Amino acid sequence: MVTWNNLDTLDAFQNLTKADRVDLAEVMSGENGAERVKNYSIPMAAGLTYNYAAKQVDEKVLAALAKLAEEAQLTEKFQALYNGEVINTGEKRLVLHHMTRGQLGDAVCADGVDKRTFYVEQQTKIAEFANKVHAGEITNAAGEKFTTVVQIGIGGSDLGPRAMYLALENWAKKNNVFRMEARFISNVDPDDAAAVLNSIDVAHSIFVLVSKSGTTLETLTNESFVKDALKNAGLDPSRHMIAVTSETSPLAKSDDYLAAFFMDDYIGGRFSSTSAVGGAVLSLAFGPEVFAQFLEGAAKEDQLSKEEDVLKNPEMLDALIGVYERNVLGYPATTVLPYSQALSRFPAHLQQLDMESNGKSVNRFGDPVDYPTGPVIFGEPGTNGQHSFYQLLHQGTDIVPLQFVGFKNSQIGTDVVIQDSTSQQKLCANVVAQIVAFACGKTDENLNKNFEGGRPSSIIIGDQLTPQALGALLAHFENKIMFQGFVWNINSFDQEGVQLGKVLAKRVLAHDTDGALKAYSDLMNI
């Protein structure tokens, strides 16, 4: 029997608050630190490793976290989710994004169909379409191949797919599987669409319109912008556009599109990179086989998330340590720092994934909670961030936990030796140095040069950023966020916070305004 209780009512949480604090600088110094680095690791899928040696935990804290996981019924709640219970209480919906990459438990039927079968059918349709585009069987009106794919979407229809594309672009080129350049239009700012359209050959471009409802204002506005550009170039827009939407949307059976691929209400936008939302653009860009490898990595990581033993479940442990940092140690933010340029947009995706999911102040039943929930998420790739905001992270008044991601080898496989080391070695040296610098600090009589240390971090380490590794990395953070939502007893799968601004914007455009809304509208000449 699964029960849903607030964090502050759990005995295990009260015991966690009483656990002795760990002196991170002390335990990470000398041989103690060397032993921790070796022992505080969990294997992940696709050859990745989650290392939490530089977190403020020890055996007693870890035991208390395990008790919290047990009392909060994290394993049982995950089982309820993937077996098709209504976990999204705000919208009274199932939560099925895991099923786009594999079936973790029972068959789930909804809308009169087996959902795993539905998702596989969409992936098959996308693969067949992409293969025909690559083979020149589907062409523009002149019979010429498409060379560019442009995704039109916003929020989860943009951030995740864009981050995944950029993560694999160089890998695909190196491995001779790069099929088409991908570009993305998201912002309703006309400068965004214009910049993309001015940089591509529209006659050889295929556009993917992504809107579950078929009514998303920003996306439909950008679609009209693109259609005008195609018409002005003497092209028929219907020969250049496909739709990713729901089966009930006005886009589903429209003659305005070459094809339509379907998603459903059981996959939130921020969790949609492994659905048709990511599948269409990534399959066109890299080929369906690469997208399948991406799904495989995510599916294998999902399997690890089923593990009951916290010390064998990297997502659950990462989540619990995050709860400890937020609710016991009082840290307000977390920064994500991939030491990989390919992951340059991954922190932006995680901002939405985490903050839109767990930025809640009421529990699953609509009652206010009396404890902090989701942290502020931000980040940039290393080493760029070191020359930006690391000053505050090292010596600022707030302690901000850090989540590093690093790979032993680059995607391109070639490098140069400069000053007795390669670029990749310099990159790896920097991430290693930062972990120890944050944890151990440095004492100096000049307080301006003194580093207190005690700043916690974890790192996910891999051999190389491949499609499988990317899938595993994505699933790790998706499941971490899910587990944290369970612990906080909030609904991580709706996003009412994005609605109010949309409603007011429609009033502004309809000139139905008064008070401050009218005054600001006048300032902007609307």
C-beta separation of 244 from 261 below 8 A? yes
Asked if residue 147 has a cis previous peptide bond (ω within 30° of 0), the answer is no
- The mean-pLDDT minimum among 343-352, 364-373, 379-388, 415-424 falls in 415-424
What residues are annotated to the active site? 356, 387, 502
Q: Give the pLDDT confidence score for residue 414 in this predicted structure.
A: 82
pLDDT at 115: 98
Average pLDDT of the residues in 321-345: 98
Q: How far is CA 68 from the centre of its chain?
A: 25
Average pLDDT over residues 229-252: 95
Mean pLDDT of 30-37: 94
Contact 64, 44 (CB under 8 A): no
What's the token pair of residue 439? Answer: 């944890």
Q: Which residue has the tokens 């190196």?
A: 174
Q: Return d(Cα 115, Cα 247) in angstroms, integer.
A: 14
257-266, 384-393, 445-454, 495-504: range with lowest mean pLDDT: 495-504
Beta strand pairing call for 376-379 and 333-339: parallel
Mean pLDDT of the chain: 97
Is the pLDDT confidence value at 415 over 90? Answer: no
Q: Is the model's pLDDT at 507 over the cut of 90? A: yes
Instruction: Write out pLDDT tens, residues 273-303.
Output: 999 999 999 999 999 999 999 999 999 999 9
Alpha-carbon gap, residue 342 to 351, rounded angstroms: 17
pLDDT confidence of residue 498: 87
pLDDT for position 499: 86
**Confidence label for 413 from pLDDT (cuts 50, 70 and 90):** confident
**pLDDT tens, position by position, 62-120:** 999 999 999 999 999 999 999 999 999 999 999 999 999 999 999 999 999 999 999 99
pLDDT tens figures, 508-517: 999 999 999 9
